[in-house]
Structure 1
Amino acid sequence: MTYKKPVQKLAGKIREITLGENLKLGGESVLPFYSFDGDTGHKPVIGMEIWDVHPENWPTTVMEELGDRVRNPVEWAKFCEEKYKPDFLCLRFVGANPDMGDRTPEECAQIAKEVAEAVTLPLVIAGCDSNEKNGKIFTKVAEALADKNFAFLSAVESNYKEVGAAVGLAYGNIVVAESSVDLNLAKQLNILLMQLGVKPEKMLMNPGCSAVGYGYEYVITTLDRIRLAALDQNDATLQLPIIMPVSFETWKVKESAASVEDVPEWGDQEERGIAMEISTSVGILAAGANAVVLRHPRSLEVVREFINSLIQ
């Protein structure tokens, strides 16, 4: 008797969301990379992080390669697009933080508009550490980039009404719903945004990210539970593509930030940071993320190879 390999059929499917003009996310009806069971949807994508201000304590080789471009977000964005060829760019407004220059929402909007006009890649817009100010930043930036279909990272429980109304309803962009590593919190925020009037095709999820070794097992199990609920239980409120800002977390932990002088036994600082970024990325991609944001070009290269090696 001929052996017939069993196939796991799931009831649900992740929505297909378009970022920018034509970057497709989601669309899978099976667990991550389970091509032997069915349609794996669109290939996971990788974005590169750029800042609106000169970054401090970034990897030495990155800073040397970028040179004076880091003082101009437009030139920085153009360089990354041409040299590293990521799938999208993540423009992060660190300079809007009250402790980093307190850039106004209007200034942020002007920078975002100039970057968008200078590159062909879609943008993901990220704010600063203040959720209250992010609401104001996203409103102005979404207005400047109206109907571009760019993603705004993120709407949280404290500002989802302001962000959802401006980004998703008034100006035709994509709202990223960010929660704190809990399936029920992720589902609740998705429902609140949908009740506000944001359409699912204008939404992505960030269920919460951490670096390897920092509650990472909770991140992975939360991703697993979200994907099983969406696909196996056909929970429509969780059938959204997932984007994770890996670089935001991995480069600030002690394994990446501690100098060689402080802990010589740990080896080269930059190599540690790259290892943290790669390790974190491949785990969350294998657990269901559709997009990751990275900082180091070597990380982008390795993670891209990882994705391609699993896509059949």
Structure 2
Amino acid sequence: MAFTAKSGKFSASINSVEVGCGDKKIVLGGENILPFYTFDAPVENAPKVGVEITDSGLENEPECVKKYYEGCETVADMAKRAASFEGVDFLSFRMDGGDPNGANKSTEELIAMLKEIVAAVDLPLVVCGCKHAEKDAELLSKAAEAVDGRNALILAAKEENYKQVGAAAGLAYKQVVGAESAVDINLAKQLNVLLTQLGVDGKSIVMNVGSAAAGYGFEYAVSTMDRVKAAALAQGDATLQMPIITPVASEAWGVKEAMASEADMPEWGNQEERGIDMEVETAAAVLASGSDAVILKHPVSIKTISTMIKELM
């Protein structure tokens, strides 16, 4: 008996969200199938890969990453170099130094850096805060103003500061709003509802539903993504039909397997290879679970994941 394939596409779909403008703009989402199930239906917008730089420049980067930025003196120089890496679709600028419990850099200093980056590159921008909700309320509101006209993704509004960030990014300056929740489908849904009730267009929201490096409670992150995609597509839940973006770099390069030197752990082998492996396996897994974009650090990781996506689409 001849085999008759049955399409697994859904009647519902993930929202298509544009980030950036002009020829370099990208579109996240739009799919009505499970991740990489292109045998069920074509996918118009492949997952995207971003490169992360931070306000610390090269200060806190591993040596294996620093070599790719040789000669760069400013964060803007790094942005230009990062934009040239093979496979990069967008640039992510993380303002870690704003954390009051860390370097506690002023909002003015960080926004000045952001403006230099805006002037230096024309790639779509993702602007990330310092993970301190109160400081991010101010920092990301000012960032939304600094990238006016660039249709940037401001990552991210949380339950503690969604009113300030959502009002500035989504309403005043018409940027894309990132909604960050803590690895729980109900929290993700609740934050999307709160943002839309505030007046933010649901089709201008991208979710970060939580992230972790592979092996570090990672099953919670990917199972949450699986549940979000199932609810969005199989159940047609409009409050969860936003694309997902996952910041992988800060998680993957922050664990001992990537950070431990070869002098300290000679039995683990080459540190650069370990870091790349951790970043690639984490990114591949979150993409397979439904992420529409990943943020990476190492140029080899970026090239590898970009190639994987092209081969699977």
Question: TM-score, normalization: structure 2?
Answer: 0.95
Question: Which of 200, 207, 211 lines up with 1:209 in the alignment?
Answer: 211
Hey, which bits of structure 1, 4+ residues long, moved more than 4 A? none
Aligned mates of 1:54, 1:3 — CA distance in 2: 56
1:34-53 → structure 2 map (5 Å cutoff): 34-53=37-56
Q: Which amino acid aligns with 1:13?
A: S
Give the equivalent residue in structure 1 for 2:312.
Answer: 310
List gaps (5 residues or longer) in structure 1: none
Aligned mates of 2:8, 2:64 — CA distance in 1: 46
Q: In 2, are the aligned partners of 1:105 and 1:141 still within 8 Å (CA)?
A: no
Identity of aligned residues (%): 45
Tell me if 1:32 matches 2:35.
yes
Question: Which of 245, 268, 271 lines up with 2:270 in the alignment?
Answer: 268
Aligned mates of 1:216, 1:56 — CA distance in 2: 28
Deviations 1:13-43 (A, max 9, x none): 0010000112111110111111111132301
List gaps (5 residues or longer) in structure 2: none
Give the equivalent residue in structure 1 for 2:224.
Answer: 222
Q: Which moved more, 1:32-41 or 1:243-252?
A: 32-41
SS of 1:186's equivalent in the other structure is helix
Q: In 1, are the aligned partners of 2:87 and 2:303 still within 8 Å (CA)?
A: no
Q: In 2, are the aligned partners of 1:128 and 1:134 still within 8 Å (CA)?
A: yes
SS of 1:214's equivalent in the other structure is coil
Deviations 1:232-271 (A, max 9, x none): 0000011111100000101111111122222221112221
Q: In 1, are the aligned partners of 2:129 and 2:139 still within 8 Å (CA)?
A: yes
Q: Which amino acid aligns with 1:278?
A: V
- Following superposition, the deviation at residue 177 of structure 1 comes to 0.4
Q: In 2, are the aligned partners of 1:26 and 1:241 still within 8 Å (CA)?
A: yes
Q: In 1, are the aligned partners of 2:184 and 2:224 still within 8 Å (CA)?
A: yes
Aligned mates of 1:241, 1:305 — CA distance in 2: 21
Aligned mates of 2:179, 2:68 — CA distance in 1: 34
Question: TM-score, normalization: structure 1?
Answer: 0.95
Q: In 1, are the aligned partners of 2:87 and 2:302 still within 8 Å (CA)?
A: no
1:185-200 → structure 2 map (5 Å cutoff): 185-200=187-202
SS of 1:293's equivalent in the other structure is strand
Q: What is the root-mean-square deviation of aligned Cα atoms in Å?
A: 1.5
Q: In 1, are the aligned partners of 2:153 and 2:176 still within 8 Å (CA)?
A: yes
Give the equivalent residue in structure 1 for 2:4.
Answer: 4
Q: In 2, are the aligned partners of 1:205 and 1:240 still within 8 Å (CA)?
A: yes
Give the equivalent residue in structure 2 for 1:162.
Answer: 164
Give aligned pairs, total: 310
Q: Which amino acid aligns with 2:120?
A: A
Q: Which amino acid aligns with 2:47?
A: P
SS of 2:84's equivalent in the other structure is helix
Aligned mates of 1:41, 1:12 — CA distance in 2: 15
Q: In 1, are the aligned partners of 2:100 and 2:135 still within 8 Å (CA)?
A: no
- Following superposition, the deviation at residue 299 of structure 1 comes to 0.4
Q: Which amino acid aligns with 1:18?
A: E
Q: In 2, are the aligned partners of 1:29 and 1:41 still within 8 Å (CA)?
A: no
Q: Which amino acid aligns with 1:28?
A: E
SS of 1:107's equivalent in the other structure is helix
- Relative distance call for 1:135 and 1:170 in structure 2 (3 A) is same
Aligned mates of 1:54, 1:99 — CA distance in 2: 19
Aligned mates of 1:56, 1:302 — CA distance in 2: 25
Give the equivalent residue in structure 2 for 1:13.
Answer: 13
Give the equivalent residue in structure 1 for 2:290.
Answer: 288
Give the equivalent residue in structure 2 for 1:124.
Answer: 126
Aligned mates of 2:170, 2:146 — CA distance in 1: 14
Tell me if 1:110 matches 2:112.
yes
Question: Which of 168, 177, 180 lines up with 1:178 in the alignment?
Answer: 180
Q: Which moved more, 1:141-150 or 1:281-290?
A: 141-150
Q: Which amino acid aligns with 1:73?
A: V
